[in-house]
Structure 1
């Protein structure tokens, strides 16, 4: 029987007797995802500084980049291995201008891509190798001979070195001129036995990411009673086997869509670095890049919503909440919202206070959740509509409100006809479908859970002449609350 001469990463970890689990595909995929989430948090907690000019680690991954947090993309050098039929390196194999590295930058200044042969067994594996001054970590998701999935990981620096040798040998065969540069990058983070506290920290983060066990029948019955209680504003999920299958299917769907889109965006951004392309081609590539980014962010929200639903608790746990400057988020988001509104023949005005207070939320998720909400909101409005976004301090909270305005008639007068709410049909536990527009989006309950997870609250009200009015409340940072209280006292 034919056998590939170079070992795959799963073979490297199996030979080293690293931590492994062979189970159903859905379970192994879940272990892979939560381990990546724990690794991301571990890196964020251990990076000394955040600077695009100071690299603090190297990440080798396949078949797509595994970390999207802005702090990590700035501070880590990332190399993505892919077996896609189109080899992006063929676009500019060794014609880089002097002073630029030989590895082609792709998704960001710190991200690059290298090819794998389609016949290579490694091309069927998902993996992530992390090299830092404090630790080396290998994560692998592979398929066993019996068809079952296996998830393996190891903090052993020697195992990480063997995994790099397996990868490096492939680079040597396909791109020998690049091997020396990659070898230097890997060896820059010399192998050291990780501090036991680092592994303990990873274990704690891993446990924090794990969904809780399904409630027993008695608990499920209790949850069903609470589900319809008027005093329960955030009804929990019953987590029946069918609903869990629905959520797992959505998780798998989001992952499968996100992966090829990330590859398309990677190749698109590589093409955009070509200086000889006509302006019309560049414009079209930018449109592809934008559309891919929007859909990747949508899939990320679907994935995150599915993760929240796998928890058996009646309220999602608020994680990674910190004081943050909302002004920075809005400055980056508002131009995108206006551009998206213009594409749908809508107008959008934003009214902000002179000084935006500091709020407490999740910096990595707030922009995505707000943009996702704006996306769904604009898709539900007819062409020609006007949207007003108001940001107003409200006691110890900040209120962000989305108000659809009455449409103007041909003579410029405001029409007062009743606004018909969009038809929404349920698709499983988390999604809704709008037949008029063909739009699939998160349902209201799932969207509310997302806002709860980032420390906020979403309220939706119907107004006959306007349509839906969406109001988001975000808590103020402690010092801002004190100032707000002082103002109230002075007023009285």
Structure 2
């Protein structure tokens, strides 16, 4: 007699045991789910600097932080039509991106398994490391939805047993792989108090992304207090907007990349999907930069996590992506980098995002035929990075008179002539300062950024 297959729904029902009844709507619980993923990864896992672990999710990859994906082993149950496991890297990105920006390939660190109809579509994520174990899921009927979070050893043990039974039925090899991965972790530390940390962090994140916008008349003696808090309200609203924009774009990009793994796509469909992937990535990065500026606005500007960074190598590595981005606009990228330059002190991950944003910012005013030049030169105890724009005679004659950007709050500025929305000058300067750079603008021709050369030689070995 065959053993009945353990479904994903069975795991979620086990997680729901002993959890109070809830009456959340679908939209509310989905918002909680995305906030829970952000809380778990950004506020709990990343600060722990974990070196190993495993994760299992359904119906799509729920772990998305590149630093975690590189260190953790994963299993994902997803619809058969979305996951073609014969060649995970096929069609993930256009050649220019896949060759130079491996961190965008979010499929390399997990095994793909087929999601069955009886599994349902409610999301599930289980993360196991020697230091922390946690399971997240959504469960419940319509208007009785709830977010589940379990970290008690008894529940986690039952979930792993159910998963082992599931894998034994559908894929014995992966069942053995999961057992081996768990065995290599050794003794797991219990974390019964994790819920005391998780739920307050989640509440704070939900509060930050859902600001109150009540309109009311204030007494005269409260007007000053209202003015001082208006900036915080603007920041909270902007933070909420960036989150609400990036979240669906990330989901769309994940689905697009899953479709691109199929081998039988018509050429025109594949081309269109790649274009959508590129646009999603650019907008996710753009609003990610705005989000970083918002976070910096909340706190006192400071330089943190600065390390030795090879700026010349970074520009060379990222240039194929920028060149492809500019070519789609009919623009040309020119790279002019002095060889054998010393390293600077910066945050490489944040600087990559910042430089991509500056390329986008400086190219927005150019018409077809324009050129954007990156020059990197030594300048005493600093390196000088120049981002210069150049218009041909043809394009210059067709340009209308430039219109100054208008500040619309502490972080953003807006160009009335073009409708372009971008970081304000002050926000750009603060972000670059936090990354070790100092910005000076060149009127109508780009910008110059100075980075201090590291004085430490022993770290460069």
In the superposition, the TM-score normalised over structure 2's length comes to: 0.70
Q: Which of the numbers 433, 444, 449 marks the counterpart of 1:472?
A: 449
Q: How many residues align?
A: 418
Deviation (angstroms), 1:308: 5.2
Matched, 1:37 2:42: yes
Partner of 2:307: 322
Whole-Å separation in 1 of the counterparts to 2:341 and 2:203: 33
In the superposition, the TM-score normalised over structure 1's length comes to: 0.66
Partner of 2:231: 238
Whole-Å separation in 1 of the counterparts to 2:134 and 2:323: 42
Whole-Å separation in 2 of the counterparts to 1:115 and 1:137: 24
Partner of 1:229: none
Whole-Å separation in 2 of the counterparts to 1:439 and 1:453: 25
Deviation (angstroms), 1:181: 2.2
Change (3 A) 1:30 1:343: same
Change (3 A) 1:70 1:310: closer
5+ residue gaps, structure 1, are 48-55, 93-105, 226-235, 484-492
Deviation (angstroms), 1:328: 3.1
SS at match of 1:470: strand
Answer yes or no: is the 8 Å Cα contact 1:396–1:481 preserved in 2. no
Query: Can you list the C-alpha shifts for 1:329-362, whole angstroms capped at 9, x where unaligned?
Result: 2221012222222222212212212222222222
Partner of 1:110: 109
Deviation (angstroms), 1:478: 3.7
Change (3 A) 1:339 1:249: closer
SS at match of 2:232: coil
Query: Can you list the C-alpha shifts for 1:245-304, whole angstroms capped at 9, x where unaligned?
Result: 443133022111111212211331x23xx5xx79x94x9747744751552353144146
Name the structure, 1 or 2, with higher relative contact order (CA <8 Å, separation 6+): 2
Whole-Å separation in 2 of the counterparts to 1:407 and 1:446: 31
Whole-Å separation in 1 of the counterparts to 2:431 and 2:367: 26
Q: Which of the numbers 261, 266, 279 marks the counterpart of 2:258?
A: 266
Answer yes or no: is the 8 Å Cα contact 1:255–1:303 preserved in 2. no
Whole-Å separation in 1 of the counterparts to 2:416 and 2:159: 49
Q: Which moved more, 1:361-370 or 1:257-266?
A: 361-370
Partner of 1:489: none
Change (3 A) 1:184 1:66: same
Deviation (angstroms), 1:68: 5.0
Partner of 1:257: 249
Q: Which of the numbers 289, 309, 319 marks the counterpart of 2:294?
A: 309
Deviation (angstroms), 1:316: 5.0
Partner of 1:490: none
Answer yes or no: is the 8 Å Cα contact 1:211–1:311 preserved in 2. no
Answer yes or no: is the 8 Å Cα contact 1:431–1:441 preserved in 2. yes
- CA RMSD between the two structures: 5.0
Deviation (angstroms), 1:183: 1.5
Partner of 1:99: none
Partner of 1:15: 17
Q: Which moved more, 1:307-316 or 1:418-427?
A: 418-427
Partner of 1:82: 78
Answer yes or no: is the 8 Å Cα contact 1:9–1:140 preserved in 2. no
Matched, 1:421 2:402: yes
